[in-house]
Structure formats: C-alpha cells, structure tokens
Structure 1
Amino acid sequence: MELTTVWFCLIAVLWIGYFVLEGFDFGVGMLLPVLAKNDTERRVLINTIGPVWDGNEVWLLVAGGATFAAFPEWYATLFSGFYLPLLLILVALIVRGLAFEYRAKRDDAQWRSRWDLAIIIGSFVPALLWGVAFANILRGVPIDADMEYVGGFFNLLNPYALLGGLTTLSLFLTHGAVFISLKTDGRIREHARELAARIGVVAAVITVVFLGWTQISTGSIASAVAFTAAALALVGGLVAILGGREGWAFLGTFVAIGLGVAGLFLALFPDVMPTTLSDGVGLTTTNAAATAYTLKIMTIVAVIFTPLVLAYQAWTYWVFRRRISVDHIPAHPTTPATSAR
C-alpha cells in the first residue's frame, strides 16, 4: 500500500475518533437547557464531559496537523475555500472552551447563564457546520486548473450540504443524550433516556436519507457496506436505549457514527476534494500529497506516538467511568478543576 493511501486512512481514523468522541460532547452541550432544570443539574451535565472534552478536541488538532503535513494542497484549498465556516467553528470551539473554564469563577446566576449560553451555541455551531463542510467535500466544489477554490460562501449552502449538517446535528444530539443516560443517575438519566429514543428516530431517518443520497452520488461497494452497517448499529442503539441498556445504546451510536464517517471517506477515495468544474483539477491522494520522504518520517512518528495517546485517553475514560448525580455536586462550585464545575 502506498504511503499516500496509508495517510488518507490515518486521517480518516482521526476524524472518526474526533466525531465519535467530540460528538457526545456537542450533544451534552446542546442538551444543557433541555435536560437540566436548575444550576445543580447543569453542573451534573457539564461534569459528565468535564474530564474529557479537551482531550477529545486533540483529535481535531491532530487531524488538521496531519492533513497539513501529508496533503498540503488539500489543506490549502480546504482552508481557503471553507474559510468562513471553519472560522465560525474555531470561534465556537474557543468560546465553548472558555465557558467550561469560566462559568464557575463567580457565584452569580447571571454570569453562569451567559456562559451556559456560550456552551450551547459553541456546541450547536460545530455540530451543524462540520456536516455541511464534509458534505461539500464529498459533493465537490469549484476548483480551477490551479487547484484553487473559486466559489463563494453561498456555494457551500446547497441542499445536500445542509442535509449533511442536519445529519451530524441530529446524530450528535442522540449520541449526547445516550451518553448522559449512561453517565448520570436519577431524574436526568430517565429524561435523557426518553429523549434519546425520540431524537434517535429523527436522526435515523435523516441519516438514512443523507447516506443514501451519498451512496447514489459518489458511493462504492465498500461505502455501501459501511453505510448499511452504520444504519444497523444506529437502530441497534435505539432498541437498546428503549430497553434501558445504556451501555449497549452508547456502543450503538458510537459505532454508527464511526462507520458512517468511514463510509464517507470510502466514498471519497481516491479523491480528497473533487471539483465541480469541467475544466478544473480535483485534488486526489496523489496530486495533493507531500513528498515521499515527508510521509515516511510522519509514518515513523505516528507508529511511535499514536499508541501512547490512545492508551492515555483510554486510561482517562476508565478513571472517570462512574455515574454522577445531583448528590455528588457540592453546594457551591469549586473553581480550580474543570471536572468540579
């Protein structure tokens, strides 16, 4: 297997890791005003992701860095063409991170409500726009013979891309609700379980339509297998949540998102950013790649450090595996640690 193909697969794995992990973070943030009746319950929800949300975002940083190093032409065209939506995502992630850190700095209800709003918006915007961005990559965008994006912002707001945004938004809401039911106890757990079942049905319909559209447009046999398995995993997760099996339900949504993203990359390969112009030049794993020496050095580094990162993150999830409830929240929030907010 050529190193260009290897790095295409590794970047796909990084995006899969980001969406399956950060996906439930976004879901929890968006569900903050729905599942929490008071500040104590909001702190319960934030504590479910407090120890892990920043680690989950590392997958995005590594995916972006790997794309820059392995496929510089892809990175350059993507960030120049998708500048505004990617900027909005970046700002939303920054504001959301600040909200996690600062909401407990003052014992003031209005102060916390404003930061809670930042968490909600900072979770909603990326959850929607990531789907829009990936759908446009699959559909193709106007790229000229110099491999430069020549379209505008409104080229990105096409029906297929907007459906992609609704797909990621609904899946992340479902994933987050299932995660909350897995990590909490009491009233929040019961409410999250009911909500996950209701949102999950809507997410399943939207997802099937989007994946079907993708398969018809650009799919392959491999992507069809991945999409079918993703749909079955999502249905299995919904059946499990209806039966009160939160662990199996979370595994179902986890696998569904992972296989869905894998299917998108399988449908895209060997392109990395196709063009919609008849006289344009689309980007592929060949013409967008870095030099063979660069890819070789990157492969050595990845083989050494990737297992270490995976082991550390797995250990973090194991340490913070227990359920929490309002009984675990102190009367007054402590400021030093994110996980105590």
Structure 2
Amino acid sequence: MELTTVWFLLIGVLWAGYFLLEGFDFGVGILLPVVGRDERSRRLAINTIGPVWDGNEVWLLVAGGATFAAFPEWYATLFSGFFLPLLLILVALIVRGVAFEYRGKRDGALWRKRWDIAIFVGSLVPAILWGVAFGNILRGVRLDARHEYVGGFFDLLNPYALLGGLTTLVLFTLHGAVFLALKTDGPMRAQSGRLASQLSLAAVPVAAGFLLWTGLAHTDGWGIALSAAAALALLAAIPLTRARREGWAFAATGATLLLAVAALFVTLFPDVMPSTIDPAYSLTVHNASSTPYTLKVMTWVAVFFTPIVLIYQGWTYWVFRKRLKLSDIPA
C-alpha cells in the first residue's frame, strides 16, 4: 500500500477518534442548560468531562498537523476556502475552553451563568459546523485548475451540507446524553437516560436522510456498506437507552460515529477535495501529498509516538471511570 493511502487512512482514523471523544464533550455542553437546573447539577455535568475534554481536543490538533504535513495542498485549499467556518469553530473552541477554566474563579451566579452560556454556544457551533464542513468536502466544492477555492461563503451553506450539520448536531447531542447517563448516578442518570431515548428517535430520521442522500449521490459499495452499518448501530442505541444499558448504548452511538466517518473517507477516496467545476481539478491523495521521504519520516514518528498517546489517554479514562453523583459535589 502506498504511503499516500496509508496517511489518508490515518487522517480518517484521527477524525473518527476526534468525533468519538469530542462528540460526547460537545453533547454534554449542549445539554448543560437542560440537565443543569441548579448550580450543583451543572457542576456535576461539567465534572463528567472535566478530566478529559482538553485531552480529546488533541485528536483535532494531530489531525490538522498530519494533514498539513502529509497533504499540504489539501491543507492550504481547505483552510483558505473554508476560512470563515473554521475560524468560527476555532473561536468557539477557545471560548469553550476558557469557560471551563473560568466559571469557578468567582462566586457569583451571574458570572457562572455567562460562562455556562459560553460553554453551550462553544459546543453548539462546532457540532453544527463540522458537519457542514465535511458535507461540503464529500459533496465537492468549486476548485479551479490551480486547486484554489473560487466559491463564496454562502456556497458552503447548501442543503446537503446543512443536513450534514444537523446530523452531527443530533448525533453529538445523543452521544453526550448517553455519556451523561453512563457517568452519573441518581436523578441525572435517569434524566439523561430519558433524554437519550428521546434524542435517539430524533436522530434516526435525520441521520437516515443524510445517509440516503449520500448513497444516492455516491455509489461506492464500501461506503454504502459502512453507512448501512452506521445506521444499524444507531438503531441499536434506541432499545439500549430505554433498557438503561448505558455502556452498550454508548458503544452503539460511538460505533455510529466511527462508521459514519469511515464511510465518508472511503467514499471520498482517492479524492481529498472533489471539484464541482471539473473532476480534473480535484485534489487527490496523489497530487496533494508531500514527498515520499516526508511521508516515510512521518510514518516512523507515528509508529513510535502513537502508542504512547493511546496508552496515556486510555489510562486517563481508566482513572476517572467512576460514576459521579450529586453527593460528590460540595455545596
């Protein structure tokens, strides 16, 4: 297998890991106004992701860095053409991170309320815009012969991409509700379980519509098979959430996200950014990649450091595996 293909697959794995882990972070932030009816409840919800949210964002940094090093042409076109949406995501992530750190710095209801709003908005915006961005990548954008994006911002707000944004929003929110039910006990566990059941019913038609549209537009056999597997995993989450089998339900929503990202990258290959002007103008794993020597050096670095990162992050989740309840939160 060529190194260009290897690195395309590795970048897909990094994005799948990011959506799997950061997805429930976003979901918890979006659900904060719903599950956090008082200060202790809000602190309980935030504490479920407190030890891991910043570590989960490392997957995004590595995915961006790997794209820059392995496919610089793809990185340049993506970040110039999608500059405004990516800037909005970046600002939202910064505001969200600051809110987590600052909401407890002062003992004031208004102070905490403002930072709680920042957590909600900082979670909501990326949850939508990541789906819009990947929907446009899969659909194709206006690239000219120089591989430069010649469309406008509103060209990115097409119906297919907006449906992609709605799909990631409902999937992340469902993933977050299941995670809260898995990580808490008592009233919040029961409330999060009910929310997960309701959200799963809403997520199925939205995700099914997006997958059906994708299947009609792209006839790749592996992509359709992976999309079908993602749909089955999402359907499995419905009875699991109702039966309060939170661990299995979280595995089902996690599998949905992993399989959906896998379907996206498999369908996209060998393109990395298709052109809607002329297929000959599309960026592919071949014309967008770095030199073979660069890819070889990157491969050795990845072989050495990736297991270390995975072991450390796995250890972090093991240490903070205990369920939390309101009695753990001091008055």
Q: Same fold (TM over 0.5)?
A: yes
Alignment of 1:34-53 (within 5 A): 34-53=34-53
Q: Distance in 2 between matches of 1:21 and 1:204?
A: 21
Q: Distance in 2 between matches of 1:207 and 1:92?
A: 24
1:231-255 residue CA offsets vs partner (Å, 9 max, x unmatched): 1111112211111100000000000
Q: Secondary structure at the match of 2:21?
A: helix
Deviation at 1:280, TM superposition (A): 6.0
Q: Distance in 1 between matches of 2:318 and 2:312?
A: 10
Alignment of 1:266-305 (within 5 A): 266-278=266-278, 281-305=281-305
Cα contact 1:273–1:284 (8 A) shared by 2: yes
Pairing 1:309–2:306 present: no
Q: Distance in 2 between matches of 1:201 and 1:128?
A: 19
Cα contact 1:144–1:279 (8 A) shared by 2: no
Letter paired with 1:198: Q
Q: Secondary structure at the match of 1:149?
A: coil
Pairing 1:211–2:214 present: no
- Aligned counterpart, 2:187: 187
Deviation at 1:215, TM superposition (A): 1.6
Q: Distance in 1 between matches of 2:264 and 2:232?
A: 16
- Aligned counterpart, 2:24: 24
Q: Distance in 2 between matches of 1:211 and 1:69?
A: 31
Q: Distance in 1 between matches of 2:279 and 2:247?
A: 51
- Aligned counterpart, 2:133: 133
Pairing 1:67–2:67 present: yes
Q: Distance in 1 between matches of 2:293 and 2:202?
A: 47
Q: Distance in 2 between matches of 1:51 and 1:44?
A: 12
- Aligned counterpart, 1:81: 81
1:250-294 residue CA offsets vs partner (Å, 9 max, x unmatched): 000000110011101111000000001038611000000000000
Q: Distance in 2 between matches of 1:279 and 1:172?
A: 33
1:178-237 residue CA offsets vs partner (Å, 9 max, x unmatched): 000000111111111011111111111111110111121124111111111111111112
Letter paired with 1:53: W
1:8-66 residue CA offsets vs partner (Å, 9 max, x unmatched): 00000000000000000000000000111101000000000000000000000000000
- Aligned counterpart, 1:177: 177
Q: Distance in 1 between matches of 2:62 and 2:113?
A: 32
Q: Secondary structure at the match of 2:281?
A: coil
Letter paired with 2:259: L
Aligned CA distance change for structure 1 residues 276 and 325 (closer, same or farther; 3 Å): same
Q: Distance in 1 between matches of 2:202 and 2:37?
A: 24
Runs of 4+ in 1 over 4 A off after TM superposition: none
- Aligned counterpart, 1:257: 257
Q: Distance in 1 between matches of 2:165 and 2:317?
A: 28
1:90-121 residue CA offsets vs partner (Å, 9 max, x unmatched): 00000000000000000111000000000000
Q: Distance in 1 between matches of 2:201 and 2:266?
A: 26
Deviation at 1:79, TM superposition (A): 0.3
Letter paired with 2:298: M
- Aligned counterpart, 1:339: none
Q: Distance in 2 between matches of 1:279 and 1:226?
A: 25
Q: Distance in 2 between matches of 1:284 and 1:262?
A: 17
- Aligned counterpart, 1:157: 157
Q: More displaced, 171-180 or 270-279?
A: 270-279
- Aligned counterpart, 2:228: 228
Q: Distance in 1 between matches of 2:303 and 2:211?
A: 32
Q: Distance in 2 between matches of 1:92 and 1:280?
A: 36
> RMSD in angstroms over aligned alpha carbons?
0.8
TM-score (norm 2): 0.99
Length, aligned pairs only: 331
Q: Distance in 2 between matches of 1:22 and 1:279?
A: 33
Letter paired with 1:33: P
Letter paired with 1:324: L
Letter paired with 1:94: I
Q: What is the percentage of aligned positions where both structures have the same residue?
A: 65
Deviation at 1:312, TM superposition (A): 0.5
Q: Structure 2 unaligned runs (5+)? A: none
Q: Distance in 1 between matches of 2:254 and 2:315?
A: 18
Deviation at 1:154, TM superposition (A): 0.3
Aligned CA distance change for structure 1 residues 62 and 279 (closer, same or farther; 3 Å): closer
Q: Distance in 2 between matches of 1:35 and 1:329?
A: 15
- Aligned counterpart, 1:146: 146
Q: More displaced, 197-206 or 282-291?
A: 197-206
